Amino acid sequence: MNLFEELDTLDPSSKLVPPRIETPTPHKIAVLILLKQYVKEKKNSMDSGITMRPQRRRMFCMLMFKLIQEADMTYNELHNLITNKPFKLDALMLESFEKAMSEFCGSASIEALFDFAEMQNIDTLLNEDYGVSQFSMVGVYVRRVAVVLERFSFAEMMCMYRNICLYYERGIRALSSGARKLIVGGVLHRAQTPPPSAPEEEIHKDTAEPKQEQGEVGQPLSRWAPKQAKFFINKQSELLDNDESSALSPKQLQLKVQQIIEDLPLNTTSYFLGYMNQLRIRDYYNALSALHRALDRSPVRLMSQEKGYQYFCINLAVLHATFGHREEALAALRESIMLAQEHGDKRSLNLANTWHCLLRDELPLSYVQRSVADISDADGNLLQNYTLALHFAVKLGTVAGYQPLRLFDLLQHSDQLTNRNNLSNHASEALALRSAVWCAYGRHELSALYAQLLLSVRDRFNCSGSAGMGSALASYAMWLHLQGELPLARVLLHRAREQLPRMPNAECWMISQCHVTIQSGIYRCRWHDALKACDQLHLLDPSAAMQQRAAIYVAKREFFNARRLLDKLAAKSELPFLLRMRVQVLLAYCSLAEGNFSSEAVMLLLRVAEDMSESQMDYELATVDMLLAQVLLMLGMPQKAYQAIKRSMDDIHINGGLYERAKADFVFVRCLLAIKDANARKAQLLKSLDILERSAQSFKKLSAHAKVLDVYVFLAQRFNEYGERTLRNKYAGEFRRYFMEHPIPREYLGGP
Amino acid sequence: MSMIPFFPNLKPTVANRFWFDMTSDDEMQTKRYEDERRNWTAATDLQPLGKVHTITGVETDDEDANDDSEDTDSHDEEDDETNDRVIPVTQDFYSADDIQMNDETSPTAP
């Protein structure tokens, strides 16, 4: 490769030396021979009046696109492609193709290649009536091959012909020896051309072939063409962004990138793909050096527009942000903003500003509002930025506990934009965001619905691996667990793990898994497991981990430890609104359960209830009401307790998990009993027996053994009071039976 | 023991489409090559009258000499753009004149 060429590529505006057209490879010649058969058949059908079936024509066109755009294949792979679904050719065309190939490489001599390269032959392919249009993608492909073949000297034609024959022979041998036997180490191979004067050597070479990955620079049998490379890089980069598990595995991708770089060293996007691959496996040092390499290899000026280094500064900031180096990322961003302003590059400036906001978790709402007016004339990039800004504003608002109405207004605005402009990944993100917002405001049923919606249309959105999908999977898994469907939850989490194997996308399902383990541990009184999961959660979300740990201590009735943690949490300034509310509730619970019914605790609860109702967090309010009902019962105010529980029943049954529903039922029955006078109580209890049975079943499903025992104890005690011996014995027997299976220490009974 | 809201990660993707949207004009490039080729064939179809003499074009012999022998990405294309080999196509044997011509014009001649 000429050094001058390299310099030209890096600085293309100075001299207009165009890149050369690539040399055709044997694969391309084979594709053209296939095309010729098709054109011949089409001509025959036109002459005879019988038209080819449209499906056949369409499948052939799809086949041609696939062959042109993808990497070169060996002959046996091409043959397999055209003999299997979905591109299976019909028998006649297949036969004529095989015959043409064998004649070309076998019986005919180099004359066949010369004939093929004749303008007349090419013109039949490009014929207006039955050939391909010369301006179409296939037509340009044909012309590019033809124009290079025309200029070949005799020696080069000879070389070309030998390569084609070699390609064909290898393919035939592979086909005859077994299906799918890759001869030369892979789809895209660099092979050494064996000297054609020693044909017996070929056989030995074939057996030793797999080691020939690093071929010398001989006449290669297959080679990446710029267009194929472009298609491959675009596809892989999009897959890496949206659906990482469908992209090639990191090792394979690295191999392909290296091949492209070897074949087309002046192509800059291949270096960038290498960088993305390194970033994906979270290899910091290699990613950094790959980014530097991509920067070195990219032209500083592009299309007579000074591009400068601001774009790469942004990428450096993104790299640091991905690894969590906040300060370095912000420093790189500052530099990129300066450079972008220097070069007047609005696009990069927007991108830099976006990242700046995201990293500092703040959004100047004035910017968002100002952009409302400009929305009609915004170009694609700006539009995406704006939609992103809206989503971010919604997220910040939810976390801070704003009025939900305003948030949904913003979401609707963003939906209008995405629908109008077909931004599919933003649309899927919007669905995931809606699910999260509903969840934060307590409408868990709706949130689960949105999550299910997103999961069911993921194919249409083509975003199986995106972050929105991850959060939907995590959220729905947790919801299923709360409903008692632990195996289903496990399946979903497993699926999430497959789709999003690495950070940072893996964060949501990891958090979900920790929560699921913690909750399951609390239900079963397996404190050790739950605490261990808390430790894991601490790495991902420290505040939530502390709150869950406090919840575990509360369940264990270690109120001192719980209070210590909760005080620490309450002192933190930057907590999400929901978390703060829950911390307050737990604090109130601590003081109430200890037995000192100070007015302080009740005041706390009432204040929390007020905040919640302001923010319209109805479900949390309902849980507070349930707690209040318990307290009031203990204080001996059954009527008020009954009102409180009645208020909360609806919300809890609609949006609550199985545990909350069962608990609400239990408290409800206790309140019912309390408000009745002494002689009606027995009747009431008998009437409500099935409610209690149902709640016991729910607790059993969750393996919440302590609560099951609680229910049986309660029933046995009440029946003892009312003198119903048989029922008392029945429930005492149930208790004993259950206790034998799941012995829970006495202290955990009567818990929350 | 309640649900936690899971927010999607709202960071924009690493690769800006700007990079990957660089269009390469295949059609124009191919057309240019074809036109050049056509012009060249048209030009060499002419039979020059009388004695042929060299027309030195842009010297690309240096490049040829510096090429790796294995690299067959045709430098012939550059050669073909210029008309410095005015050996008429009808002649199929070297005459004494031609040999002399080659000696004069070839820079690597001793």
**pLDDT per residue as tens digits for the range A264-322:** 888 888 888 999 899 888 889 999 999 888 888 876 655 445 566 777 888 888 888 88
In-domain check, residue A144: yes
Strands of A497-617, DSSP E: none
pLDDT beyond 70 at B48? no
Among A235-239, A346-350, A397-401, the range scoring the smallest mean pLDDT is A346-350
What is the percent of chain A where pLDDT is above 70? 86
pLDDT for res A531: 94
Q: Convert the pLDDT of each residue in A607-662 to its tens digit.
A: 888 988 888 888 989 999 998 888 888 888 889 899 999 989 999 999 989 999 99
Q: Which residues of B touch A435 (CB under 8 A)?
A: 6
The rounded distance, in Å, linking the Cα atoms of A413 and A429 is 14
Least confident of A234-238, A342-346, A567-571, A680-684: A342-346
Higher pLDDT, B95 or A227: A227
Q: Give me the pLDDT at residue A383, please.
A: 75
Helix and strand counts by DSSP (H, E) for chain A: 38, 2
pLDDT of residue A698: 93
Report pLDDT for A589.
84
Cross-chain Cβ contact A358/B10 below 8 Å? yes
* Residue A740 in domain: yes
What pairs with residue A305 in β-bridges? A302
Residue A119 at interface with chain B, using a CB cutoff of 8 Å: no
- Which pair of tokens denotes residue A465? 């691996």
Nearest residue to A245 via CA among A609, A505, A596, A534: A505
Whether residues B15 and A272 touch (CB distance < 8 A) is answered with: yes
Concatenating the DSSP letter of every residue in A31-98 gives HHHHHHHHHHHHHHHHHHSPPPPHHHHHHHHHHHHHHHHS----HHHHHHHHHSTTSPPPHHHHHHHH
H or E stretch at A492: helix A486-499
Q: Which of A197, A215, A233 is the last residue of a domain?
A: A215
pLDDT at position A184: 38
Structure tokens at B51: 């004695």
Closest Cα partner for A224 from A71, A80, A89, A76?
A71
pLDDT exceeds 50 at position B106? no
* Span A102-142, pLDDT tens digits: 888 877 788 888 888 887 788 888 877 778 888 888 888 88
| Spatial separation of the C-alpha atoms in residues A236 and A256, rounded to whole Å | 11
Q: Is residue A227 classed exposed, middle or buried when 0-12, 13-18 and 19+ CB atoms within 10 A define those classes?
A: middle
- Report the pLDDT averaged over residues A702-716: 90
Q: Which pLDDT band holds residue A434 (cuts at 50, 70, 90)?
A: very high
pLDDT-based confidence at residue A519 (cuts at 50, 70, 90): very high
Angle between helices A507-524 and A542-556 (to 10 degrees): 10
Alpha-carbon distance A393 to A84, whole Å?
Answer: 51
The pLDDT confidence band at residue A521, using thresholds 50, 70 and 90, is very high
According to the model, what pLDDT value does residue A649 have?
92
C-alpha distances (whole Å) from A107 to each of A100, A110, A573, B97 are 10, 10, 84, 41
Is B3's CB within 8 Å of A623's CB?
Answer: no
Average pLDDT over residues A315-338: 89
Predicted pLDDT of residue A182: 42
Helix axes A54-69, A226-242, angle to 10 degrees: 90
Instruction: Give the three-class secondary structure for A306.
Output: strand
What pLDDT score was predicted for residue B15? 53
Q: For residue A601, is pLDDT > 80?
A: no
Distance of CA A575 to CAs A373, A507, A605, A671, A716, Å?
34, 19, 19, 35, 44
Say how far apart CA A88 and CA A66 lie, in whole Å: 13
Q: What is the pLDDT of residue A284?
A: 92
Q: How many CA atoms lie within 13 A of A528 on its CB side?
A: 0
Asked if the Cβ–Cβ distance from A519 to B71 is below 8 Å, we say: no
Per-residue pLDDT at A533:
95
Check residue A631 and give its pLDDT.
83
Give dist(CA A478, CA A514) in Å, integer. Answer: 10
Q: What's the whole-number mean pLDDT along residues A411-431?
A: 83
pLDDT given at position A133: 83
**Contact between chains at A578 and B8 (C-beta distance less than 8 A):** no
The closest CB to that of A522, out of B1, B30, B37, belongs to B1
Distance CA A693, CA A691 (A): 5
How far is residue A380's CA from residue A393's CA, in Å, rounded to a whole number? 20
Consecutive H or E run containing A337: helix A326-343
Roughly what angle, to the nearest 10 degrees, separates helices A705-722 and A689-701? 160
CB contact under 8 A, A147 and B34: yes
- The residue among A29, A8, A39 whose CA lies nearest residue A152 is A29
Number of domains within chain A: 2
Give the end of a domain, one of A166, A195, A215.
A215
More confident residue, A646 or A51: A646
On whether residue A547 sits in a domain, the answer given is no
Measured CA to CA, the distance from residue A234 to residue A110 in angstroms comes to: 38
Q: Does residue A345 fall inside a structural domain?
A: no
Find, in chain B, the residue whose alpha carbon is nearest to that of A620.
B2
> How long is chain A?
752
For residues A492-498, give the mean pLDDT: 91
Indicate yes or no: CB of B9 within 8 angstroms of CB of A659.
Answer: no
Q: Of A215, A240, A259, which one is at a domain's C-terminal end?
A: A215
User: Does A120 contact chain B (CB < 8 Å)?
Assistant: no
Q: Which of A20, A355, A423, A586 to mutate to test the interface with B (most CBs of B within 10 A)?
A: A20
Average per-residue pLDDT for chain A: 82
What is the structure's pLDDT at A240?
84
pLDDT of residue A197: 39
Is the preceding omega at residue A86 within 30 degrees of 0, hence cis?
yes
Look at A477-491, A518-532, A611-625, B40-54 and tell me which has the smallest mean pLDDT.
B40-54
- Measure B10 CA to nearest chain A CA, in Å: 7
What is the DSSP code (8-state) at residue A141? H
pLDDT higher than threshold 50 for residue A188: no
> Looking at the complex, does the CB of residue A302 fall below 8 Å from at least one CB of chain B?
yes
Residue A128 lies in a domain: yes
pLDDT of residue A222: 73
Question: A657 and B37: CB-CB below 8 Å?
Answer: no
Q: What is the DSSP letter of B95?
A: -
Residue B77 with chain A: CB contacts under 8 Å: 20-21, 148, 151
Per-residue pLDDT band at A750 (split at 50, 70, 90): low
Cβ pair A395:B74 closer than 8 A: no
Separation of alpha carbons A101 and A81, rounded Å: 16
Tell if the CB–CB gap between A623 and B2 is shorter than 8 Å: yes
The pLDDT score that the predictor gives to residue A11 is 60
* Digit-coded pLDDT (tens) for A545-599: 999 999 999 888 888 899 999 999 989 888 888 888 899 888 888 887 776 666 7
* Residue A483 tokens, joined: 């409903």
For residue B104, count other CB atoms closer than 10 A to its CB: 8
Contact A467, B8 (CB under 8 A): yes
What is the span of the domain harbouring residue A79? Answer: 23-215
List the one residue out of A308, A347, A345, A352 whose CA is nearest residue A330. Answer: A352
Asked whether residue A159 is assigned to any structural domain, the reply reads yes
CB-based contact A505 B1, cutoff 8 Å:
no
Between residues A429 and A516, which one has the greater pLDDT?
A: A516
Residue A696 confidence class, pLDDT cut points 50, 70, 90: very high
Model pLDDT, residue B12: 67
Of residues B13, B20, B32, nearest to A269 (C-beta): B20
Nearest of A419, A423, A506, A510 to residue A463 by alpha carbon: A423
Please indicate whether, in this complex, the C-beta atoms of A470 and B20 are within 8 angstroms of each other: no
| Residue A356 φ then ψ, to 5° | -60, -45
Q: How confident is the model at residue A374 (pLDDT cuts 50, 70, 90)?
A: low
Q: Which residue has the tokens 């917002």?
A: A437
Least confident range of A13-27, A414-428, B14-28: B14-28
Report the alpha-carbon distance of residue A208 to residue A205 in Å, rounded: 5
The partner residues of A302 in beta bridges, in order of sequence, read A305
Range A60-70 average pLDDT: 88
pLDDT higher for A346 or A367? A346
- The confidence score (pLDDT) of residue A181 equals 41
Segment B34-60 mean pLDDT: 68
Residue tagged 């030009």 (tokens): B43
Chain B interface, best mutation among A4, A8, A16, A21, by max B CB count within 10 A: A21
* Residue range B93-103: mean pLDDT, rounded: 49
- For residue B19, what is the nearest residue in chain A, using CA coordinates? A269
ipTM: 0.71
The residue among A364 and A38 whose pLDDT is bigger is: A38
State the pLDDT confidence band at A385, using cuts at 50, 70 and 90.
confident
- pLDDT tier, A677 (very low <50, low <70, confident <90, very high otherwise): confident
C-alpha to C-alpha distance for A147 and B31, rounded to whole angstroms: 9
Is any Cβ of chain B less than 8 angstroms from the Cβ of A358?
yes
- Provide the pLDDT for residue A306: 56
Instruction: Please report where in the chains the tokens 């025309």 appear, as a residue.
Output: A150
Structure-model confidence comparison of residues A542 and A186, the more confident one: A542
Question: Region A724-737: what's the mean pLDDT?
Answer: 90
Q: How far apart are CA A388 and CA A378, in angstroms?
A: 14
Q: According to the model, what pLDDT value does residue A372 have?
A: 55
For the question of whether the overall pTM of this predicted structure is more than 0.90, the answer is no
CB-based contacts of B63, cutoff 8 Å, min separation 6? A2, B75, B78
- pLDDT at A55 > cutoff 70: yes
d(CA A121, CA A242): 44
CB contact under 8 A, A302 and B22: yes
- Test B12 with A354 for CB contact under 8 angstroms: yes
Both tokens of residue A195? 């000297």
In this structure, is the dihedral angle defined by the CA atoms of residues A13, A14, A17 and A22, taken in order, positive or negative? Answer: negative
Interatomic CA distance for residues A335 and A301, integer angstroms? 19
**Residue for token pair 């430890």:** A561
- Residue B72: count other Cβ atoms within 10 Å of its Cβ: 18
Phi/psi of residue A463, nearest 5 degrees: -135, 40
Q: How far is CA A311 from CA A292, A706, B23, in A?
A: 12, 59, 19
**Structural domain includes residue A355:** no
How high is the pLDDT of residue A213?
Answer: 37
Task: Using an 8 Å CB-CB cutoff, list residues of chain B that contact chain A.
Answer: 1-20, 22, 24, 26-27, 29-30, 32-34, 37, 63, 68, 70-74, 76-77, 80
- Structural domain includes residue A230: no
Q: Are A440 and B5 in contact (CB under 8 A)?
A: yes
* Number of CB pairs, chain A paired with chain B, less than 8 A apart: 173
Phi, psi (rounded to 5 degrees) for A377: -100, 15
Q: H-type helices in A401-485, by residue range? A: 404-421, 424-440, 444-456, 458-461, 467-482
Radius of gyration (C-alpha) of chain B in whole angstroms: 27
